[in-house]
């Protein structure tokens, strides 16, 4: 390290590089050598190598407690450099992929973009970890193409009538509403414990585990009639499952995949106040109204929302 410093003060970049690489040949986790090498590559305009070594510095620095203000500034500078190089690389990849993406189908476009974003560290790739039946080798997609569900447009068109019936139900207080999470006594603590037997996440079931709830359907007749027109799969004791899903303000549904990968989950956002969030896979949505989404990958919701949820097998 002393030799590297001497070469640096003499302006001998080749000598400094050689000395620093000898240090790393002894220990690839030598933090100071990585910092000096990142700075050297940066001075020489070797952006890819500079970003590589700054990334290593950032990763190692996470294990350092009680970091000084000077070191924090150094990490901030390295982080900004890496992020800038990632943006430049992302722009270059997008430009190179433009022609391919222009002729690719919707799903292929999403797959190519997701692969590039994952490689650049901009998003994770989520996998199914079903809590119940997992059928092997089915493709795990964050969203299915709308073309598979021609009735989604009809569902969107029916939104005002569905919303009106939901508002009438809500005006009745919590009549007919039940906790969506209701675990048996003695079940070990889990991410669902905070919602267990709580109306923080309430459900007004129209169909539950394959059974039509006549009294509830009578309170939402247009919604029930529309649901009946859908190509539902009927499995006694299992499907369909259709309900109004209602979160109280401040509540949060933890990320989850669901019970099985052999069905799709359709969400129709009805009442979505500002500041609410909904994530499916790596896609986040926040807004006043949500379009229907069909998904199989991990999802989560936070704060007060109301939605129609349709599970199709």
| Residues 274-308: tens digit of each pLDDT | 888 888 888 776 544 444 555 545 555 554 555 56
pTM for the complete prediction?
Answer: 0.71
Instruction: Name the DSSP class of 208.
Output: E
Q: CA distances (Å), 264 to each of 41, 138, 148, 240, 282, in order?
A: 49, 12, 11, 11, 17
Q: Domain 146-312: give its CATH code.
A: 2.60.120.330
**Averaged pLDDT for residues 262-273:** 87
Going by pLDDT thresholds of 50, 70 and 90, the confidence category of residue 110 is confident
Beta strands in the chain, from DSSP E residues, in sequence order: 178-179, 201-208, 211-212, 241-247, 252-256, 264-271, 277-280, 283-285, 293-295, 299-302, 306-312
| Predicted local distance difference test score (pLDDT) of residue 221 | 97
Q: Check pLDDT > 80 for residue 12.
A: yes
List the structure tokens of 169.
């139900």
According to DSSP, the residues that pair with 300 across neighbouring strands are 279
1-123: which CATH architecture?
Alpha Horseshoe (1.25)
State residue 218's pLDDT score.
Answer: 96
Query: What contacts 152, CB < 8 A, 6 or more positions away?
Result: 146, 266, 292, 294
Residue that is written with structure tokens 């009809």 in the block: 154
**CB atoms < 10 A from the CB of 20, how many?**
27
Q: What is the pLDDT of residue 235?
A: 87
DSSP letter at 180 equals S
Q: Is the pLDDT of residue 312 over 60?
A: no
- Give the range among 38-42, 207-211, 253-257 with minimum mean pLDDT: 253-257
Q: List pLDDT tens digits, range 190-232.
A: 998 999 999 999 999 999 999 999 999 999 999 999 999 998 8
pLDDT at 289: 43
Per the CB < 8 A criterion, the answer to whether 247 and 201 are in contact is yes
pLDDT of 32 > 90? The answer is yes
**Tokens 């809500």 -> residue:** 170
> For 168-195, b where at least 16 C-beta lie within 10 A, e where not — what string?
ebbeeeeebbeebbeeeeeeeeeebeeb
pLDDT at position 298, please? Answer: 54
- Quote the mean pLDDT of the chain: 86
Instruction: Return the domain boundaries, the chain.
Output: 1-123, 146-312
């Amino acid at each position: 390290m002393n030799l590297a410093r001497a070469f640096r003060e003499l302006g001998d970049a080749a000598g400094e590089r050689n000395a620093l690489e000898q240090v790393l040949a002894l220990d690839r986790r030598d933090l100071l050598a990585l910092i000096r090498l990142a700075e050297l590559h940066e001075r020489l305009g070797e952006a890819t190598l500079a970003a590589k070594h700054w990334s290593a510095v950032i990763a190692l620095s996470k294990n350092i407690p009680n970091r000084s203000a000077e070191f924090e500034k150094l990490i901030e500078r390295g982080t900004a450099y890496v992020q800038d190089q990632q943006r430049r690389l992302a722009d270059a990849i997008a430009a190179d992929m433009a022609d391919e993406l222009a002729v690719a189908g919707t799903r292929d476009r999403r797959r190519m973009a997701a692969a590039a974003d994952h490689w650049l560290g901009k998003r994770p790739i989520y996998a199914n970890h079903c809590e119940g039946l997992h059928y092997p080798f089915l493709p795990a997609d964050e969203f299915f193409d709308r073309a598979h569900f021609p009735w989604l447009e009809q569902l969107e068109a029916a939104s005002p009538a569905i919303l009106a019936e939901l508002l009438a139900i809500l005006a009745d207080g919590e009549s007919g509403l039940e906790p969506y999470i209701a675990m048996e006594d003695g079940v070990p603590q889990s991410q669902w414990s905070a919602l267990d037997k709580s109306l923080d996440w309430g459900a007004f079931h129209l169909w539950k585990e394959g059974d039509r709830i006549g009294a509830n359907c009578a309170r939402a007749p247009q919604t029930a009639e529309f649901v009946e027109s859908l190509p539902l799969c009927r499995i006694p004791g299992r499907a369909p499952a259709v309900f109004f899903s209602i979160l109280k303000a401040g509540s949060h549904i933890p990320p989850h995949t669901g019970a099985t990968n052999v069905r799709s989950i359709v969400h129709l956002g009805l009442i979505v106040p500002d500041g609410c969030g909904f994530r499916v896979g790596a896609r986040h949505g926040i807004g006043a109204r949500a379009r229907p989404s069909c998904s199989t990958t991990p999802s989560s919701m936070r704060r007060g929302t109301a939605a129609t949820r349709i599970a199709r097998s």
